[in-house]
Structure 1
């Protein structure tokens, strides 16, 4: 049997063996030099062995056991000789772990003068580091749970957050915004009011949308902004306005993202101006997401999101929102109108395939991309009406749709659409199972090569801000910091 076989994963490791050798030697009053002489090796070699830095050969272990007057089994025992030895061993293992070493902590020799309670404190801290790391390294299931809890909160509040609306109201008043579309100059005025200057950089880290230098009160943005440049500025400022600290877990990270996006939307489409606009449209039975988009010069998705914030609170209209990738995957969802979207076993909508007969999927097959697409869809929970549009991004095409129950359709432009569909979202045979004739013809004659999503088996990116390369961010800030 080799030493490697003796020191397998179920038995003692080299560090444990080294510690037992040291303790047995000390108990016998033998110096390191004396043991080295007895086995015919240099003291430095024995020192490395006792410190677990070298795996001993089996012949060496036998020689050491003989010199110490004990058997080979005594050196390979899995249990520590005493409680103190066990503590030292556990601390040394913790200090050598990749997780602690990644923090820049170097292992050190534990002398007898280090009290037991100090060793226990080190172990507790190491365990807490592991716990926080595991908590932040959210698995896809943990992320879905966090997202589900956040969506439930949004539903309870009808996706309306009064404190965020007040923040937006105060900021707009501070810069003298009269209402209506927020100009880029007004967005810059908000930054100046908060004590920040805006800087556009060609080398912004690719894992970020913006970077805030809190020391010098600077906001860095990419030179080439995809989408509305005002949104990038306002989202960057939102965390400062809301006093966000480093998120403690993935749930807090998601909540902060929602708050940032909400506040940016509330600044772009102010409640005090938008509500009268929407109420007047309801009185005319002419509510239109396109009109809201055009009135405030925002994207269709921004207008749709903002409508969900205000619809139930101010118009007494329950609503649902979907963003669906061209692959059919639901990427964002909100509902408080009892629409029955497909869910996984946890109740999460995001990540599920949208029914191909639902408006959000049908719209991809419509040639007319200039006008919105409207459709009534019969479901197990009643009939719903939706308006949808396709938008493009670096991640591909997405459809964005807003829908209401049949009884609320009377308030909307597009209610006279002739398009009809039938969908049973939660029923597999609705569209996720092929028709019987197709299945019979091809079941045993087809073999697709699946394009597996790269995130299917991977955990979410770790860190306080998942997916962000903090080393790259710090190097960027160092390079762009103003010189004294």
Structure 2
């Protein structure tokens, strides 16, 4: 049904009512039956031009008046808005019957229905994360955590109180302890090999089950973390997110809680403080002491370094293409950013260890480097890894003045970075540019996901139909 036909029909009805004519009376004057005229007034049938001309003449208005896209009055404007809203795919997806937007509908009911549709559209729009919305929300989230020095005391306390319920106080958190935590909250951990492809875990609230990938996954840190994240939603009282920003905030909180359980604040600060006193701080040692991944250990150190070790730090996860996937800094490291302030997807300087380490032959140990930048000199330790998606590097660093606390401070590796000055590493050498400019035509890789919004729904990026079918299959 055409939206313009709705307005046209309502304008015809407005002028018919103004003259006190019934449908049959006006229909008889223009040569159509009243039922056909009713379909036109309700926007369900498009009239011929000759009929429109006849209607305009009988109603005593110019044809242009009937064809105007403005509602004749405020009441009619609401009726048109309701009719259009009920024709939308969004409303159709609910499977609800339409309420006739007629004159017999009470004004209060009409206003309430229109208000409900407006809120429905607003929430649907917020749950669909376009790349621009996602980047904006992520940037706001990153800046907010920077202002808090990446430290959330309330979650630290909650994690330690939760661990106390199963008697855990030190050392690596075992799978057994994680299972006991789940039982304490009324859940059973179940490992399956048919999880929905869009979900890392699925919680069955009705039957008290948390479904996770197979327990045979190497390492096991990921499984403990995923289970803790699922429990965190319950402990923190999360409800389905109403916006992408809320979705990101919830994800940050559950990740933080899981890390605080795997590397409890009291034990972690004691370990790191002792290492600092020995001037032997190391992400590698911290990682091994708590049985987590290198990335998890480096990120956790950003939570504790400023609040408990009195030092400002930076963290980077960089892909093999040189693009930033995750980042944090409160030490002034000049991260590359676009005009909106977003850093994800931006290329780091080729002189930085985050990229230089990917070109090394020996990657069994951390790579240490000092880097002179326009914002000062920074020291960092970088470790590399590989997934199905490609190689990556994890960097943890500090300003020059704090390098003295870390193992690897005596490295002779030093680079000078002038980025964002393009002459540093982005602009090709003049001889290469002269040789190949105009003679090269590369075909760029297109990452299709950056052009598409995440699937809409209660949980962005999750296929709810697949999840519900999974739960139904396992509910017996």
TM-score, shorter chain, exceeding 0.5? yes
| Corresponding residue number in structure 1 for 2:406 | 412
Partner of 2:448, secondary structure, is coil
| Corresponding residue number in structure 1 for 2:83 | 92
User: Take 2:322 and 2:116, find their aligned partners in 1: how far apart are those partners?
Assistant: 45
Q: How far has the Cα of 1:271 moved from its partner?
A: 1.7
User: Take 1:112 and 1:422, find their aligned partners in 2: how far apart are those partners?
Assistant: 75
Q: Which of 17, 20, 24 does residue 11 from structure 2 map onto?
A: 20
CA contact (8 A) 2:213 2:223 kept: no
CA contact (8 A) 1:343 1:426 kept: no
User: Take 1:349 and 1:80, find their aligned partners in 2: how far apart are those partners?
Assistant: 46
TM-score normalised by the chain length of structure 1:
0.90
User: Any idea what the Cα deviations from partners look like across 1:132-191, whole Å, max 9, x if unmatched?
Assistant: 333333443333332222222322222221111111111111001141011111111110
Partner of 2:363, secondary structure, is coil
User: Any idea what the Cα deviations from partners look like across 1:392-447, whole Å, max 9, x if unmatched?
Assistant: 23432221110112222222222222322111233222212222222222222111
Task: Classify 1:392/1:106 alpha carbon distance in 2 versus 1 (closer, same or farther; 3 Å).
Answer: farther
Q: How far has the Cα of 1:26 moved from its partner?
A: 4.5
Task: Classify 1:22/1:191 alpha carbon distance in 2 versus 1 (closer, same or farther; 3 Å).
Answer: same
Q: Which of 367, 379, 391 does residue 385 from structure 1 map onto?
A: 379
Q: How far has the Cα of 1:368 moved from its partner?
A: 1.4
User: Any idea what the Cα deviations from partners look like across 1:187-225, whole Å, max 9, x if unmatched?
Assistant: 111101111111223332211111112222221223375
Question: Are 1:366 and 2:357 matched, yes or no?
Answer: no
Question: Are 1:58 and 2:49 matched, yes or no?
Answer: yes
User: Take 2:36 and 2:425, find their aligned partners in 1: how far apart are those partners?
Assistant: 70
| Corresponding residue number in structure 1 for 2:254 | 260
Structure 1 segments unaligned to the other structure (5+ residues) = none
User: Any idea what the Cα deviations from partners look like across 1:458-477, whole Å, max 9, x if unmatched?
Assistant: 34443442211223223332
| Corresponding residue number in structure 2 for 1:446 | 440
Q: How far has the Cα of 1:54 moved from its partner?
A: 2.5
Question: Are 1:471 and 2:465 matched, yes or no?
Answer: yes
Q: How far has the Cα of 1:125 moved from its partner?
A: 2.5
Q: How does 1:121-136 map to 2 (within 5 A)?
A: 121-136=112-127
User: Take 1:177 and 1:456, find their aligned partners in 2: how far apart are those partners?
Assistant: 43
Q: Which of 285, 305, 316 does residue 279 from structure 2 map onto?
A: 285
Partner of 1:455, secondary structure, is helix
Q: Which of 177, 180, 184 does residue 193 from structure 1 map onto?
A: 184
| Corresponding residue number in structure 2 for 1:137 | 128
User: Take 2:78 and 2:141, find their aligned partners in 1: how far apart are those partners?
Assistant: 42
Aligned pair count reads: 473
User: Any idea what the Cα deviations from partners look like across 1:360-410, whole Å, max 9, x if unmatched?
Assistant: 001110111222211111111222111111122343222111011222222
TM-score normalised by the chain length of structure 2:
0.91
| Corresponding residue number in structure 2 for 1:117 | 108
CA RMSD of aligned residues (A): 2.6
User: Take 1:206 and 1:45, find their aligned partners in 2: how far apart are those partners?
Assistant: 52
